[in-house]
């Protein structure tokens, strides 16, 4: 891993930690190993550093859009991850519910049933964990 990174990487790392949580991001980078480190650097620099840092959308909107796309793609790990990001960026339970209903119409029932089960199983725990972190 190079000693220095681009400014886009550094900006991306900061926003990635803000949205997903410092512990998660640090663990992901630490566990990438030599094989996946270049992928993590690319992801951080381009997705997070060049797109998530743009001014055209606020972070809550970006989180909700990303959550909707993960539902459309039926990616349970990413749904759970970006549900946390949506919560961290201020999305309410009502907004997440409405996103799920909207996704049902445009993405289909099976993907949304899976997403609804993830939301039902994890949203309360995510909110509780985020509340504990803010209290500390």
Domain locations along the chain = 1-54, 57-136
Do 83 and 118 touch, CB atoms closer than 8 A? yes
| 57-136 CATH | 1.20.1290.10
> d(Cα 134, Cα 132) in Å, to the nearest integer?
5
91's torsion region: left (phi>0), alpha (psi -120 to 50) or beta?
Answer: beta
Do 91 and 68 touch, CB atoms closer than 8 A? no
Mind listing the pLDDT tens digit for each residue in 62-104? 999 999 999 999 999 999 999 999 999 999 999 999 999 999 9
Mind listing the pLDDT tens digit for each residue in 99-135? 999 999 999 999 999 999 999 999 999 999 988 888 8
């Amino acid at each position: 891993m190079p000693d220095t990174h681009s400014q886009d990487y550094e900006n991306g790392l900061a926003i990635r930690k803000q949205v997903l949580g410092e512990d998660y991001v640090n663990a992901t980078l630490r566990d990438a190993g030599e094989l996946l480190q270049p992928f993590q650097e690319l992801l951080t620099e381009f997705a997070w550093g060049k797109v998530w840092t743009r001014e055209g959308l606020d972070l809550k909107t970006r989180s909700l859009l990303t959550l909707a796309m993960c539902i459309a793609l039926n990616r349970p790990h990413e749904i759970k991850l970006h549900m946390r990001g949506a919560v961290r960026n201020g999305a309410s339970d009502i907004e997440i519910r409405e996103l799920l209903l909207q996704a049902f119409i445009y993405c289909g029932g099976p993907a949304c049933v899976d997403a609804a089960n993830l939301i039902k199983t994890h949203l309360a725990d995510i909110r509780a964990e985020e509340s504990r972190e803010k209290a500390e």
